[in-house]
Amino acid sequence: MTYERIALDGALVMAPREARIDMSNADAFKDALLESVTLASKVMIVDLSSIEYISSAGLRSLMIAFKAAKAEQKTMAMAALRPLTQEIFAISRFNIVFTLFDDVRDALARLAPDVVAEFDAL
């Protein structure tokens, strides 16, 4: 599982760089998410802009990370979903579970406004 992390003062952006999240890489995705939750101070944004497809195994990984974030009193949201991924979230009703944003900047502006200038400077 390849991914990128952007650590900001008060927020962390985790961006998987795979086209698909399915049974073949869902466990590695879960591990990367859980590590990111631990590293995030208050807010974690998962940038799904590279994801063309996510299976139920990938959705399960997101739910496990979401529960871990909640247990640590951290906020976790999704950003930049592609149309098919957005449709999968709607069909599975994960669009009700997770807060979804059009892009990472919008998510940060809403959930961690103090870090927007830092993010913009990257």
Task: State the average pLDDT over residues 7-28.
Answer: 97
What average pLDDT does the structure give for the chain? 97
CB neighbours of residue 51 within 10 Å = 24
pLDDT in tens, 73-97: 999 999 999 999 999 999 999 999 9
Task: State the average pLDDT over residues 52-75.
Answer: 98
pLDDT category at 110 given cuts 50, 70, 90 is very high
Buried-state track 71-104, b at ≥16 Cβ within 10 A, e below 16: eeebbbbbbbbbeebeebbeeeebbeebebbeeb
Question: Residue 113 carries which DSSP code?
Answer: G
Q: Is the pTM of this model over 0.85?
A: yes
State residue 93's pLDDT score.
Answer: 97
Closest CA to 15 of 60, 61, 48: 48
Strand partners, 11: 8, 43
Q: Please give the domain boundaries of the chain with CATH numbers for all domains.
A: 3-120 (3.30.750.24)
